[in-house]
Amino acid sequence: MDTNNKIKENVKQKYGQIAKGELKLEVTPSSCCSCGSNDGKVVFDMSAQYKDSDRAAIPDGADLGLGCGTPAAYADLVEGMTVLDLGSGAGIDCFVASKHVGSTGKVIGVDMTEEMLSKANENKKKINAANVEFRFGEIETLPVDTNSVDRVISNCVINLVPDKQKAFSEIYRVLKLNGKFTVSDIVVDGVISEKERQDAALWAGCVSGALSRNEYIGIIDKVGFNNINIVSEKKYDYKLESGGGLYSFTVTGTK
Ligand SMILES: C[S@@+](CC[C@H](N)C(=O)[O-])C[C@H]1O[C@@H](n2cnc3c(N)ncnc32)[C@H](O)[C@@H]1O
């Protein structure tokens, strides 16, 4: 198995366990000199919350605290749109989008972890979200037709994908002309050490696969998107081994 596939298998295994409630996502900085703890076991939380009116659309069990932004809130969703959520997890962002696009719209969530899809489908039943469909698949080869969706959203997932250019090329392929993506993700402003890159728990914890803001925007630009904008940003109290910082941002672009 090559390195990229090993990384993905580890991610799949970890998120499978999280979906079944057997594992809690705990991000513990490997360099913890300023975390304010005696034992260095500070658990770092990057989750973000939707405003109350959007939260009302989220059934119990769909927010596993795995997101790092609120992409649906910046996606300019209107009734009748088709929305695709990449790495949909237990479905949180799909259910928010579902409320905005209504019964004439459609939301497709794609995830590569079977246990997450089961959880998402259980959650869908709880609120009878007829306009939401969860599909098994990988972001690098999306099970979605070319030029078929109005919006792509994603919450704290693309950092987990080893080939980010392939991910954004797929986003470009499936979007209709003038369609828009809104992606919340983790970026860094320092160097991720080899030790951090090799740390399987830190990969699954959305740290080791993160790029710098410039590298990230560079990929989006290279793929051909227009109107690239960072619409929100948050700095975390987390230090990489190199001393660099960790951020979440929400970036948008149009085809
Ligand atoms: C950090 S969780 C975020 C889940 C959800 N977006 C949320 O905010 O709760 C990452 C999710 O992305 C999925 N994932 C990671 N890499 C993927 C890939 N290459 N293709 C499809 N799904 C992927 C994982 O299975 C997991 O459910």
CA of 214 to the centre of ligand 1 (A): 23
CA–CA separation, 153 vs 77, rounded Å? 10
Report the CATH number at residue 119. Answer: 3.40.50.150
Q: What is the per-residue pLDDT for 190?
A: 86
Which residues partner with 44 through β-bridges? 27
The count of domains in the chain is 1
Q: How confident is the model at residue 23 (pLDDT cuts 50, 70, 90)?
A: confident
Q: Higher model confidence: residue 22 or residue 154?
A: 154
Q: Write the DSSP string, 128-160.
A: T-TTEEEEE-BTTB-SS-TT-EEEEEEES-GGG
Range of the domain at 95: 3-254
Nearest Cα residue to atom 10 of ligand 1: 157
Q: Please tell me the predicted confidence (pLDDT) of residue 238.
A: 86
Q: Closest residue (by CA) to atom 8 of ligand 1?
A: 67
Cα(195) to ligand 1 centroid in Å equals 23
Ligand 1, atom nearest to 87 Cα: 12
128 CB-contact burial (10 Å; exposed 0-12 / middle 13-18 / buried 19+): exposed
With a 6 Å cutoff on the Cβ, whether 97 touches ligand 1 is no
Dist CA 89 CA 107 (whole Å): 14
Distance 14 CA to ligand 1 centre (A): 11
Per residue in 62-90, pLDDT tens? 999 999 999 999 999 999 999 999 999 99
**Mean of the pLDDT values across residues 100-129?**
98
Quote the ligand 1 centre to 89 CA distance (angstroms).
5
pLDDT at 234: 93
Q: What is the pLDDT of residue 44?
A: 67
Q: Which residue's CA lies nearest to atom 27 of ligand 1?
A: 89
* Residues 140-175: tens digit of each pLDDT: 999 999 999 999 999 999 999 999 999 999 999 999
> Is residue 30 scored above 80 in pLDDT?
no
